[in-house]
């Protein structure tokens, strides 16, 4: 006997479970972010820099945006609301606007 919609619910359940597994594996290896000396090297950046971050980034907390930005002289941090880790996918227009403003100095 076939139950209408059951396969779709099972497929959706598998996708959700796979997404949770992916995030869990990523955070196991990436959290906390291994510094690997990054904090000691950020000062070497000698050009204007823009650090763009999604406020709802589930992989790397938004606090890192300011931390990275503060390590680069003259840099600027831009946090985009309603946005996760993939800025260009989640909020492409806001991301482009932030980058454009930075590049044009406006």
Note the pLDDT tens digit of each residue in 32-83: 555 567 778 899 999 999 999 999 998 888 988 998 999 999 999 999 999 9
> Which residue's entry shows tokens 């454009």?
100
How far from each other are the two terminal CA atoms of the chain, in whole angstroms?
64
Question: Residue 53 has what pLDDT?
Answer: 95
Confidence of residue 17 (pLDDT cuts 50, 70, 90): confident
CA 89/CA 92 separation, integer angstroms: 6
pLDDT of residue 10: 57
- The mean predicted confidence, pLDDT, of the chain is 82
């Amino acid at each position: 006997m076939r139950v209408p919609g059951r396969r779709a619910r099972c497929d959706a359940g598998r996708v959700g479970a796979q997404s949770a597994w992916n995030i869990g594996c990523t955070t196991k290896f990436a959290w906390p972010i291994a510094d690997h000396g990054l904090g000691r090297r950020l000062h070497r950046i000698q050009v204007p820099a823009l650090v763009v971050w999604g406020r709802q980034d589930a992989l790397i907390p938004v606090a890192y945006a300011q931390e990275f930005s503060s390590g680069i002289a003259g840099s600027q941090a831009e946090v985009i609301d309603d946005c996760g880790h993939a800025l260009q996918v989640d909020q492409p227009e806001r991301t482009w606007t932030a980058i454009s403003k930075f590049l044009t100095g406006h």
